[in-house]
Amino acid sequence: MHVALTGATGFLGLRLLRRLLDTHRTLTVLTHAGSGDALRRMTRSFELTGAPEAFTAGLPDRLRVVETDLAQPRLGLSEQTFHELADGIDAIWHSAGSINLEGDLPELRRTNVEGARHVLELAAAGRRRPVVHHVSTAFVAGAQREGVAYEDELDDTRGFENAYERSKYEAELLVHAWSREHGRPVLVLRPSILVTDLPPHPDLPAHPLLVIERILRDARRAAGPGSGGADGIAPECHAGPRGGPPPDGGPFGPVAAVRPRVRTVGHAHGRLNLLQVEHAADVMVRLAGLTPSGGVDTYHVVHDRDVPVPTVVTLLERLVPLSIDLVDTKPDDPSALEALLDFYPGMTPYLAHRRRYDDTRVRSLLGPSARSAPVGLDYLWSGLAPRDRAPVGPADAPTTAFPPVRYA
């Protein structure tokens, strides 16, 4: 069986590629046209993640790289190349996509919806009738903040927290329509937020949560060093880690010692589902080995234990010199910094989530091996901060405990 994979240079795609190479001698990797030397980047990523030298040395003989443009009909390929590609594959893994929480809907549709459409066109054109494995997201559940999200649910009655969620929902609608039209099976995999404890490196795919750090830092910088809270809420000042001098705070210099308070809507008993990316890739490949039903088989690839929102708040406070207070409603008197953060609505709603994802099917099919190790504060910190970086929080900031959330 010959397999094609999109998104192989991405955070999840790299792990899927590694796992697929355990069971397939060769693979075709569909990379973005003009994105650089994909084979070199994949090789470098495997080197940094501990792959044996013999494994990386053999990649040029095992990987066929085809540059494509998912947003274009026929993936931007000539008609002949497109049909030659389609006729040579037995399975397609579609992992590529944009997770830009700041993106607008037209931009995200070009990547996530049209990209899925054109991958499905590739599958339809193949003489071998390749099976499709479509990587979606558990967040197609949209703005359902409480209760249980089930795998057989796919509707927009509750709306969506951001354009990213809607684009992935629309892509799933395409998958269902395509399966009905062609009478072909499709595997839909819905991972939750994927994380790792591998420290960041410029030659590795970016950790998805780093975008939140960047948003907070950009807003902090734009608001300026004197951007303390609203009237009556003074900025907090802290010494550096373990009682040392104040941290330099990266782009802020000495002002990182000042920690403005930010009020954001959230829930003290909220929870988010975060799953190790390596475990997610393993579960996905194992699910793909099961006999399909003939229609669309959808699975939540999630952790069996959620991470409390207070832990996420503590993590953000470690990463960025801010003091975050969860409140029930948006403040009537927002500070300059709070007003700036309102420009990024895709980020903050998740702090109010208390829903859980039903994964009964996965657990019944894979048994105890579907369970994964706990994801705690120290694990998350390891995957977001370089080895030599100390937290920007106060000297007495806890390292493993889940501290109580402050309310303004």
Residues (pLDDT < 50) of the chain are 229-235, 237-256, 394-408
User: b/e per residue, 262-275, with b = 16+ CB within 10 A?
Assistant: bbbebbeebbbbbb
Q: What is the pLDDT of residue 216?
A: 84
pLDDT, one tens digit per residue, over 208-228 is 888 888 888 888 888 876 555
Distances from the Cα of 303 to the Cαs of 132, 138, 399, in angstroms? 24, 11, 22
Domain 3-196+272-301 sits in CATH 3.90.1150.10: no
Q: 167 with 136: CB under 8 angstroms?
A: no
Q: What is the pLDDT of residue 242?
A: 33
235 is written with which tokens?
A: 């900025």
Q: Rounded to 5 degrees, what are φ and ψ at 262? A: -120, 125
Distance (Å, whole) CA 63 – CA 130: 19
Alpha carbon separation from 372 to 6, 149, 275, 290, 395 (Å, rounded):
26, 20, 8, 20, 32
* Secondary structure, 3-state, 23-55: CCCCEEEEEECCCCCHHHHHHHHHHHCCCCHHH
- Taking the C-alpha atoms of residue 63 and residue 365, their distance in angstroms, rounded to an integer, is 31
pTM for the model = 0.88
pLDDT at 343: 64
